[in-house]
Structure 1
Amino acid sequence: MIRLVAPSTLRRLGILGMNRRNISFIGANNPRRNYQLVDNKLLTKKAALERGIVVPELYGVIEHQFQIDHIMEQVQDRDAFVIKPVQGSGGKGILVVVGRDGDRFVKSSGSVIADRDLRRHTSNILAGLHSLGGRNDFAMIEALIDFNPALAEYSYEGVPDIRVIVLRGVPVMAMMRCATHASDGKANLHQGAVGVGIDIGDGHSIAAVQHGSLVTHHPDTGACFKSLRLPDWDAILDLAASCAEMTGLGYLGADIVLDRQRGPMLLELNARPGLAIQVANQEGLIHRLRMAEEIAATAPDHAARVRLARDRFHRPEPVFPEEPVAFPSGAA
């Protein structure tokens, strides 16, 4: 049962709410002119490739409704792929195909759809059904991530990803988002994925939550989250921290996946990262963000920022408390 916490206690715990996030961190650190690069996944991909950052392979782009009739030509030799809106947010509009059943397509959930369903989904993307502000959009067709098998038991019917909050090049807080059957194979906490808080120091698990409640095991696979430790942690933090310079944004969320062959891979960036990461870590962001500001002001270079963050934010042992802190609705 979740216990209620007084506002004064939330302030003491450093819980960051939406209004303060928008004014003190997003507004103060993110020039509006730089939003387009992260709001547009094609521009993000181009900028990442120019810096040698690994991203999923792009198979094609659908820009106009008349091109939808030719989408089958772009995927005819692909057994697995992902279709997503270029300007989508929150995991909306992402269609994951993991295989073929004759002329039909098998989704990550195991359900089967026809080519007309593929065309209808793509048409909805172009119409802006899943995009920021409902604007007309483009549809990207990307390679499906062949994710690291070390993480297979922690996700179900989908690819787990790692969200890292970065302030002025300093990695502040991290979590892994694990897909479930309830989330339809998507790493979206609001749809039922599990958020696992990850220690900035060495990549071990801190706590895990689903629908705002603490859990110790994956609801579908039964895997114990207490034993989770992410591989390639050095490279994950280095990649996330480097995105600040790439985008010109001082406050962002970097979403990273671990590919079997290519290692850490940038999936996308977010100029307005959500606050559920606090629930997954059972810790507020404010105190860490203030320390990150000090690190950014004094550290001589990128490597020093990452090293100091790992030292300052390291939590030696997992938390997994019996009763989670009750976070206000604006923090989720």
Structure 2
Amino acid sequence: MFKTYSALKKNGVIGINERNVRYVSALNPRKFFYKVDDKEVTKTLATAVGIPTPELYGVIKDARDMKRLSEFMDHPDGFVIKPAQGSQGKGIFVVEGPLKGGWRLSSGRRVDLDDIKFQINNMLSGMYSLGGQPDKALIEYRVKFDDVFGKVSYKGVPDIRVIALKGIPIFSMVRLPTAESDGKANLHKGGVGVGVNIATGLTARAMQFDRLIEIHPDTAHPLEDIQAPFWDDILLMAAKSYDVTGLGYIGVDVVLDREKGPLLLELNARPGISIQIANRRGMREVLERAMALSAVNRTASERVKVAKELALELNPLAVNSSS
């Protein structure tokens, strides 16, 4: 046990306690958590500084708003219904389009109006919200995911997680849905995490349930050396998220739409640490280096440049991938 702990420490792997004490508690004022815990607030803040997000069709807070449900769902190419304060993909309905007498979910299941109202009422009751508090339901644009990860993944919408410290992107991974995760990009449910090189946007390594893998378990597609498109734009979105939230340690989740490009899905003030397994590298060294750099007097673009320089300096694989 002690040998394992020593090896992890030697390789710069941080644990939950270190993350909580040194980064979440120290850099994320609780008074700003509402900016990321409420997806409607996040969307408003992001839009104000030019960070693109999925279009919001409507918000349901009570029975009066429910009367406009048909109007909000009047989109033949589908829509998404999600709890504003949900987490880990819980409670989300991804509707691909109308089906005779109802709608078809991304899982292939057919639902009718009563099913959708029941799900929304569960959201309003707080069934999926943080702390079980009353919530609201957001109805928004359904992402048509980019083929670059669509052909690799199993149904659902793959996303890209970037962790930024003081607005400097330091670590990233692609999260791919699987059959086991029911088509959701959720690592806790069996989704696949694929490490992404910050300097180049190339995928390098992968994991599922904390086990290292080389191919997707359902599609058998190789997971290394896939180029994430719009990589500089994604890093810039992550850097700007610090400016709009005031949170110094944050997870930035981005989806790639084949028509609209990268879209901010949500922000997380308590990003997990499995990203280290996906990258097969600990975060401690890059965190400490980023902590020593002042982000206050740097623009978001300058912080992206710093991020790439750090990645090339601290990770030799970055040099190999970019050559």
Equivalent position to 1:165, from 155, 163, 166: 163
SS of 2:207's partner is strand
Give the distance between the partners of 2:62 and 2:289, measured in 1 at CA: 47
SS of 2:97's partner is strand
Please give the root-mean-square deviation of Cα atoms over the aligned residues, in Å. Answer: 1.9
The Cα shift of 1:4 comes to 9.9
- Which position in structure 2 is the counterpart of 1:326? none
Give the partner amino acid of 2:35: L
Query: Residue 104 and residue 316 in structure 1: after superposition, are their counterparts in 2 closer, same or farther (change >3 A)?
Result: farther
Give the partner amino acid of 1:247: T
Is 1:313 the counterpart of 2:311 in the alignment? yes
Query: Residue 266 and residue 253 in structure 1: after superposition, are their counterparts in 2 closer, same or farther (change >3 A)?
Result: same
The Cα shift of 1:138 comes to 0.2
User: Identity of aligned pairs, percent?
Assistant: 44
Give the distance between the partners of 1:4 and 1:189, measured in 2 at CA: 27
Give the distance between the partners of 2:182 and 2:70, measured in 1 at CA: 24
The Cα shift of 1:155 comes to 1.8
- Which position in structure 2 is the counterpart of 1:27? 25
1:295-306 matches, within 5 Å, as: 295-296=293-294, 300-306=298-304
Q: Is residue 295–residue 308 contact of structure 1 (8 Å, CA) maintained in 2?
A: no
SS of 1:296's partner is coil
Equivalent position to 1:250, from 248, 251, 265: 248
Equivalent position to 1:231, from 229, 232, 237: 229
Give the distance between the partners of 1:255 and 1:61, measured in 2 at CA: 21
Query: Residue 300 and residue 121 in structure 1: after superposition, are their counterparts in 2 closer, same or farther (change >3 A)?
Result: closer
Is 1:274 the counterpart of 2:269 in the alignment? no
- Which position in structure 2 is the counterpart of 1:7? 5
Equivalent position to 2:53, from 44, 52, 55: 55
Q: Is residue 295–residue 303 contact of structure 2 (8 Å, CA) maintained in 1?
A: no
- Which position in structure 1 is the counterpart of 2:183? 185
SS of 1:272's partner is coil
- Which position in structure 2 is the counterpart of 1:259? 257
TM-score (norm 2): 0.92
- Which position in structure 2 is the counterpart of 1:91? 89
The count of aligned residue pairs is 316
Give the partner amino acid of 1:59: Y
- Which position in structure 2 is the counterpart of 1:44? 42
Give the distance between the partners of 1:48 and 1:265, measured in 2 at CA: 10
Is 1:202 the counterpart of 2:200 in the alignment? yes
Q: Is residue 169–residue 296 contact of structure 1 (8 Å, CA) maintained in 2?
A: no
Give the partner amino acid of 1:143: Y
The Cα shift of 1:300 comes to 4.3
Q: Is residue 59–residue 65 contact of structure 2 (8 Å, CA) maintained in 1?
A: no
User: Gaps spanning 5+ residues in structure 1: where?
Assistant: 319-332
The Cα shift of 1:188 comes to 0.5
SS of 2:281's partner is coil
TM-score (norm 1): 0.90
Give the distance between the partners of 1:317 and 1:21, measured in 2 at CA: 25
Q: Deviations over 1:278-332 (max 9, x none)?
A: 11111111111001112336974433321122122234548xxxxxxxxxxxxxx
Give the distance between the partners of 2:121 and 2:235, measured in 1 at CA: 37
- Which position in structure 1 is the counterpart of 2:282? 284
Q: Deviations over 1:25-79 (max 9, x none)?
A: 0111111111111111111111111112111000111101454354234214444
Give the distance between the partners of 1:253 and 1:184, measured in 2 at CA: 23
User: Gaps spanning 5+ residues in structure 2: where?
Assistant: 319-323
The Cα shift of 1:199 comes to 0.5
Give the distance between the partners of 1:4 and 1:203, measured in 2 at CA: 35
Give the distance between the partners of 1:297 and 1:66, measured in 2 at CA: 45
Equivalent position to 2:107, from 100, 109, 112: 109
Give the partner amino acid of 2:242: A
Give the distance between the partners of 2:2 and 2:192, measured in 1 at CA: 22
